[in-house]
Amino acid sequence: MKLYIVRHGETDWNRQKKVQGHTDIPLNEYGRHLTEETAEGMKDIPLDMGYTSPLKRARETAEIILKGRKIPLLDEPRIQEIGFGIYEGIHSGGEQKEPGSDEFNLFFTDTASYVPPEGAESVEELYERTGRFLEELCSCRDLADKNILISTHGAAMTAMLNRIRGNVNVAGFWEDEVPPNCSVTMVEVHDGCASIVKEGVIYYREKVRKWKTV
């Protein structure tokens, strides 16, 4: 089995440094452009099926990459982004940075000290649900010879990759930084064991924009 795990393209809230989480924000024009470039770069990769977070930005990313391929694309709630509760919608950086953003930004700068507000998810809960998805997928014998696209989000993608690396330490969650929009990580699965082959592959021409909290 080969997995191609991709973070969705850019949204207006990405650009504005607004916290998204479970809020269902679509791709913006630039995000669609990045995704189309990614689709072009992946056009010769044979794909048998796809899984997507049900949130619009991930589903649209998958649909653009898979355009013209008559293969199933399945919604998978376990790979949607972590929920941030009342923090969703606040500006967490830049000139419009809002009160409360310092507490939220601990999620990136000091993850072990981040306290999810009421109605939000913890990093441990994110690890648990994404881990269950990965375990079920990698152990499925019917998919052992398949190439699979997985369209997801920055934190959800990081949780899956950390688990593959064997590191689910909350304090070290962001050791490898936030995956750029439309970056693709390739994973091979043999006998139920997953390993990262290539990480953070970029197919578009633009300079990668690093996500920062300040």
- Name residue, tokens 């330490």: 169
Residue type, 176: D
Residue 30 sits at φ, ψ, to 5 deg, of -65, -40
Is 177 labeled as catalytic in the residue annotation?
Answer: no
Residue 51, CA atoms < 13 Å, CB-side half-sphere: 22
CA geometry: angle at 154 spanning 148 and 158, to 5°? 75
Asked if residues 86 and 73 have their Cβ atoms less than 8 Å apart, the reply is no
Selecting among 37, 60, 76, 81, the annotated active-site residue is 81
In three-state secondary structure terms, 75 is: strand
Distance between CA atoms of residues 214 and 212, nearest Å: 6
Q: Enter the DSSP assignment of 179.
A: P
Residue 39 sits at φ, ψ, to 5 deg, of -60, -40
What tokens were used for 65? Answer: 């990459």
In three-state secondary structure terms, 17 is: coil
**β-pairing, 2-7 with 184-190?**
antiparallel
Asked if residues 183 and 203 have their Cβ atoms less than 8 Å apart, the reply is no
Is 22 labeled as catalytic in the residue annotation?
Answer: no
Selecting among 8, 10, 60, 76, the annotated active-site residue is 8
Active-site annotation, residues: 8, 81
